[in-house]
Structure 1
Amino acid sequence: MGMDIKKNLTILQWLPNYKRTNLFGDVSAGLIVGVLLVPQGMAYAMLAGLNPIHGLYAVTLPLLVYALLGSSRQLAVGPGAMVSLLVGAGISSLSPDSYLSYLYYTITLAFLVGLIQFSMGVFKLGFVVNFLSQPVIKGFTSAAAFIIGFGQVKNLLKLSFPNSNHIQTIFSGIFSTIDQTHWLTMGIGLAGIVIIKYAKKIHPAIPGSLIAVVLSIVLVKFMGLSDKGVLVLGEVPGGLPGFSLPTFEMNIWLSLFPIALTISLVGFAESFSIGKTLQARHKNYHINANKELIALGMANISASFIRGFPVTGGLSRSAVNDQSGAKTPLSSIISAGLIILTLVFFTSYFYYLPYAILAAVIIVAVSSIVDFKGPLELWTKDRKDFYMFMVTFLGTLTMGIVLGILTGMILSLMLVIYRASRPHMAQLGRVPGTNNFRNIQRFNNLEINNDLLIVRIDGPIYFANVDYINDKINQWRKERTTPIKMIFLNMESVTSLDSTGVMTIQSWVKEWRNNDIDLYIIGAKGPVRDVLVKWHLIESIGEDHVFLDTHTASTFYEKNIDAKSLQRLGPYALQSNFKAK
């Protein structure tokens, strides 16, 4: 039992062997990331449609929970731009009748996201995220970045138009109200963007967002800019978050489930890819997909108990955490401690914080998400993936965040099914003067016996692709100028065979032999041979029609000798032990 606790609580793996030499890096990184999380958390709460204080709540307990359970030692967990936008889009679509209802739905959403991620981790479903292909993720995140960025123009310029996650609606709102621009607010927002970006260029660890926050608060307070129209946060509640519980009403769960599933997958995909990148730099620990799901799931469940909202690993803060010297999750514990101190003692100082500065924090954060080089590279190297990128990108821009990512996920699955149903196949010919056989489409001047068709299948043979394989073989048969007398089915690259595949091969044997065409099976692997034996397909084909390699089969065919004389070629010529693994 003790071993199980140590296995699941990763803090018990690194804390007992903690090195004092790591302390300075962990403390400094924890303080820097904690400082970064204050404006980031507040800005992302605003993006999610919540009061900014909930962003600080979301970076207390969830950080501590992830530090206990997470397998990454540098990943900094908290609210993220994309997940916050998904929260805002998803909850808004339910049309809550009041802010309290909105908050209630958000708390329930965090719980549901955590439950989905935790369950996926327990049942070892971390591989599911692989169905979100990189072109889909990049297309979605690039479009989301556009929506997030342009959506913040209203706070940057102090315009008044409804929130939306459709780019056309946002543009319409901007252009119809641009004449209402508040120039003083715009000046503060643009100055904030310059400070944040310039600080990052000097050194990623410099908290540019905090500098912008402090300067803007001082400027607004002492120059009385709020009286001149600059919109500020106003009263920010102080103290630790109160305890909250999600609703367990099934109709609300059903309404929230699609957006919860989307956030669960997107949030995990984002966190895991960042964690893998960081782990590759250190190599002194292993990041585990299922442990990450459990850790993120518990972090999100904990967020629902303290009036928080869904959290995930963040690229910018994780990079800052790593570059500032973090070696263990102690840095996250210190960050959470700093946020708690802020909640208890310093929230009153945010009264004069301009909304334009929070907009600047968000705009700078998402500006690095847009991928311009990716689609250009895909256009030249992989058109299918380029089209997937563009469909997801345009779908997210025009149909909204939720429908966009769902479209991308469906496209990913369709592409997996399409590729699985069309395995690579090749006709083989002999390289002159050798015993090697190669693809006749890729090599010139190969020796081809007109009576013989050698087919190599690269992939499993199963229900989804047997018709394609059959059509391809028939196409190659028709292309021959003389009738085929023999087909070699090279199965060296066949990884598995299901019942539909077996029955299809049985039908081939019957059909081809009725047309005076014989069949040899070549190079089948142990698991595939086991299936052939179980289904008695070996008896149908004949043990003397199964060979280890194409050269041996070809030699047998060309010399037209029987199975007994073939055995004289050597003990490995005839593959007779079909049950060998």
Structure 2
Amino acid sequence: MVKENAEYSRKKSSLDKVSKYIPAVRWLRSYTKEDAISDCIAGITLGLTMIPQSIAYAALAGLTPQDGLNSAFVGCFIYSFFGTIKEVVIGPTSLMALLTYEYTHHLSSDFVILLCFLCGVVELIMGALNLGFLVELISAPVVSGFTTATSLIIVVSQMKSLLGLKFSSEGILDNIIKLCQNVKKVRTGDTLLGLTCIICLLLLRKLKDVNIPDKFPYRSVIKKTLWFISTGRNALIVVLSALVAFYYKEKGGAVPFYTTRTADTSIPSIRLPPMSTTFNNRTYTFPEMVSSLGTGYLVIPIISVLANVAIAKAFVNGAVEASHEMVTLSLCNMAGSLVQSMPTTGAFTRSAVASASGVRTPLAGLYAAALTFMALGFLGSYFHYIPKATLAAVLIAAVIFLVDWEIVKQLWKKSWLDLFTVGCTLIACITLGVELGLLLGVVVGLINLVYRWARPEILVENQKSYSGNVVMVTPMTGFYFPAVDFVSSAVQKAGLTKGRGKATVYVDCSRFSGTDYTVAKGINSLVAAFEKRGQKLQFINVPANCYALWTGTGCKEVYFKRTEDSTNIFDDSGKALQILEEDNDKEPEQKSLLSKEDCQV
């Protein structure tokens, strides 16, 4: 019996070690029939969502429908076994497609495949080195400005397909100019089809919210049917539009709108990413290919990791294994490059569909991958019937809801610094390009953060003790080197004006979480200034870590009282300092929140 228990423990320990790297081992041990049914339903629903989306995203990236579907099934398959969050579904996204187009629109598809592989390598390095904290440097206002800008760029870029125009452009501003110049060439067929598709998509989107009375017969069945139609609206519109194009072609007449270009419809073969290629009668070596991609192999992985972690945090209550998620995402992209995929990541729309479909485990992605693979194998020869205007409508109807208008209302007159960050990121992405715009947004966000630390709010109170008046100065945030001059000036100002150069000044350090060497030197200078004019200065409620650093770098211990020693503070007379409630006939307590100008001595 003891031997059997030891053997069981050994096997369990081995499985636990394996499940750390392959999470599927963890939940497959308790996988039930009910789980399988729920995952199958969710997977089929996801597949119907992903197929038209992937084709549309491929068109946005300047690729063929086959490239989009190649990008869809591999990520789903890999994540099913290595992913940790059941709602995450890896595949093409509008953001990845736009960034891919930014870096490769002037190059061949070989560069896209190499970009996908390099993104996977960079993500693997980030995960191995636990560099997930870098993503945390991108604040919510920066993400909002970036997402809004990319959504607007996508809408404008798809207008030419929606209107049946053909021209090449560089950036959103050039696109708008070209649209105005070609307005007389707008094709009626494409425009009518595109607008009709957008209207239908928006109406179908609301179909799931239709209120059906509780006593209505078959209410549950009708509700689920409406939800399914609403969720699969993209596939429905694409199929109906393709049938219209098929009808025109079979009748031998001219199709009144442009359709997608034909391409290889076979199942993709597995081959290594290209390390050299020939394009426009020029042979590119591997270093030349990497150089041609610019900063894409660095920017795209950071954005994809950011998107994936954001989705994970939105759908998981507990902690997110960020490093493991980065490694899994890297495997999806590196494996995807073997079947000619574009860079991929998770998408909120797919995660929302998965959650609403009752997904139980990441295995739902396996069913979605199978459905996508079947579409690639059996429907590939029909992709050229899909109208370009329909794909443009699918993209526009999806991304217009990513434009974050709500943040402007939330920040207006409440946080101008954050609103300024949103505006800078938005304008920079539109005028300078999404990669430079994002970089500028991150820089502005960090400057915003440093400014808040450098200019903390400081509360100054005139209070009474049994021995006389004292001045209490309370910095409302932490105390690090950017704030040394500002806080020192505030304390000096309080001592000279509120304390008239005589009253004891207490600095309440209860809100400090940490400090640094520059602060210690600044405190030494501040203490010297108070000693010179004979005014007492005392730091109270000093956290242990601050106390250790300050006293260990030359500051005199007599000026500091740690948090545990500050419950009873004694003045020069040895009497306990107590904050007394003022009577109406006495001088009222004076409080002020120092402004930036007040702290200049």
Structure 2 length-normalised TM = 0.82
Correspondences of 1:154-193 after superposition (within 5 Å): 154-166=160-172, 168-193=173-198
Distance 1:496 1:187 in 2: 63
1:519 matched to 2:525? The reply is no
Match of 1:244 among 258, 267, 272: 272
Specify the alignment match of 1:438 in structure 2: none
The alpha carbon displacement at 1:174 in A equals: 1.2
Alignment-mate amino acid for residue 91 of structure 2: G
Structure 1 residues 31 and 475: alpha-carbon distance in aligned structure 2, compared to 1, 3 A threshold? same
| Deviation per residue, 1:264-305 (Å, 9 max, x gap) | 23222222222222224xxxx753222222222221222222
Structure 1 residues 481 and 527: alpha-carbon distance in aligned structure 2, compared to 1, 3 A threshold? closer
Distance 1:192 1:448 in 2: 80
Match of 2:369 among 324, 336, 339: 336
Structure 1 residues 448 and 373: alpha-carbon distance in aligned structure 2, compared to 1, 3 A threshold? farther
Distance 1:234 1:88 in 2: 17
Distance 2:551 2:274 in 1: 55
Match of 2:203 among 192, 198, 212: 198
Specify the alignment match of 1:351 in structure 2: 384
Alignment-mate amino acid for residue 183 of structure 1: T
Q: 1:489 is paired with a residue of what secondary structure?
A: strand
Specify the alignment match of 1:462 in structure 2: 480
Specify the alignment match of 1:267 in structure 2: 304
Specify the alignment match of 1:541 in structure 2: 557
Distance 2:458 2:407 in 1: 30
Alignment-mate amino acid for residue 227 of structure 1: A
Structure 1 residues 270 and 547: alpha-carbon distance in aligned structure 2, compared to 1, 3 A threshold? closer
Specify the alignment match of 2:138 in structure 1: 132
Match of 1:506 among 524, 530, 533: 524
Structure 1 residues 487 and 255: alpha-carbon distance in aligned structure 2, compared to 1, 3 A threshold? farther
| Deviation per residue, 1:339-383 (Å, 9 max, x gap) | 112222221122211111111111111111112222122113212
Q: Check the 8 A contact 1:519/1:541 in 2, yes or no.
A: no
Distance 1:541 1:506 in 2: 11
Correspondences of 1:554-565 after superposition (within 5 Å): 556-557=570-571, 560-561=573-574
| Deviation per residue, 1:202-242 (Å, 9 max, x gap) | 23543111111111121111123872442222433223223
Moved more, 22-31 or 510-519: 510-519
The alpha carbon displacement at 1:536 in A equals: 5.0
Alignment-mate amino acid for residue 74 of structure 1: E
Alignment-mate amino acid for residue 528 of structure 2: K
Distance 1:76 1:380 in 2: 38
- Runs of 5+ consecutive residues of structure 1 not aligned to the other structure: 436-446, 567-581
Percent of aligned positions with the same letter in both sequences?
A: 26
Q: Check the 8 A contact 2:65/2:383 in 1, yes or no.
A: no
The alpha carbon displacement at 1:249 in A equals: 3.5
Q: 1:461 is paired with a residue of what secondary structure?
A: coil
Q: Check the 8 A contact 2:84/2:362 in 1, yes or no.
A: no
Structure 1 residues 543 and 384: alpha-carbon distance in aligned structure 2, compared to 1, 3 A threshold? closer
Match of 2:548 among 517, 530, 533: 530
| Deviation per residue, 1:491-546 (Å, 9 max, x gap) | 21211122222222223223321221233231122222332343353xx2328866
1:215 matched to 2:240? The reply is yes
Correspondences of 1:28-427 after superposition (within 5 Å): 28-92=41-105, 95-96=106-107, 99=108, 103-166=109-172, 168-203=173-208, 205-206=228-229, 207-224=232-249, 227-242=254-269, 243-247=271-275, 249-250=286-287, 252-253=289-290, 256=293, 258-280=295-317, 286-427=319-460
Alignment-mate amino acid for residue 146 of structure 2: F
Q: Check the 8 A contact 1:246/1:304 in 2, yes or no.
A: no
Match of 1:475 among 493, 505, 511: 493
Q: Check the 8 A contact 2:93/2:346 in 1, yes or no.
A: yes
Distance 1:549 1:298 in 2: 54
Alignment-mate amino acid for residue 90 of structure 1: Y
Q: 2:459 is paired with a residue of what secondary structure?
A: strand
- Runs of 5+ consecutive residues of structure 2 not aligned to the other structure: 1-13, 209-226, 276-284, 577-601
Q: 1:523 is paired with a residue of what secondary structure?
A: strand
Q: 1:465 is paired with a residue of what secondary structure?
A: helix
Specify the alignment match of 1:442 in structure 2: none
Q: Check the 8 A contact 1:114/1:296 in 2, yes or no.
A: yes
Structure 1 residues 508 and 251: alpha-carbon distance in aligned structure 2, compared to 1, 3 A threshold? farther
Structure 1 residues 514 and 461: alpha-carbon distance in aligned structure 2, compared to 1, 3 A threshold? same
Q: Check the 8 A contact 2:70/2:340 in 1, yes or no.
A: yes
Alignment-mate amino acid for residue 140 of structure 1: F
Distance 2:527 2:389 in 1: 74
Moved more, 82-91 or 286-295: 286-295
The alpha carbon displacement at 1:325 in A equals: 1.8
The alpha carbon displacement at 1:255 in A equals: 5.4
Structure 1 residues 508 and 398: alpha-carbon distance in aligned structure 2, compared to 1, 3 A threshold? same
| Deviation per residue, 1:98-132 (Å, 9 max, x gap) | x2xxx222222222222222222222222322221
Alignment-mate amino acid for residue 223 of structure 1: Y
Q: Check the 8 A contact 1:220/1:226 in 2, yes or no.
A: no
Distance 1:321 1:370 in 2: 22
Structure 1 residues 251 and 467: alpha-carbon distance in aligned structure 2, compared to 1, 3 A threshold? farther
Q: Check the 8 A contact 1:212/1:357 in 2, yes or no.
A: yes
Q: 2:460 is paired with a residue of what secondary structure?
A: strand
Alignment-mate amino acid for residue 36 of structure 1: T
Structure 1 residues 252 and 509: alpha-carbon distance in aligned structure 2, compared to 1, 3 A threshold? farther
Distance 1:210 1:151 in 2: 22
Q: 1:521 is paired with a residue of what secondary structure?
A: strand
The count of residues paired between Structure 1 and Structure 2 equals: 532
Alignment-mate amino acid for residue 409 of structure 1: V
Distance 2:167 2:542 in 1: 66
Distance 2:352 2:328 in 1: 20
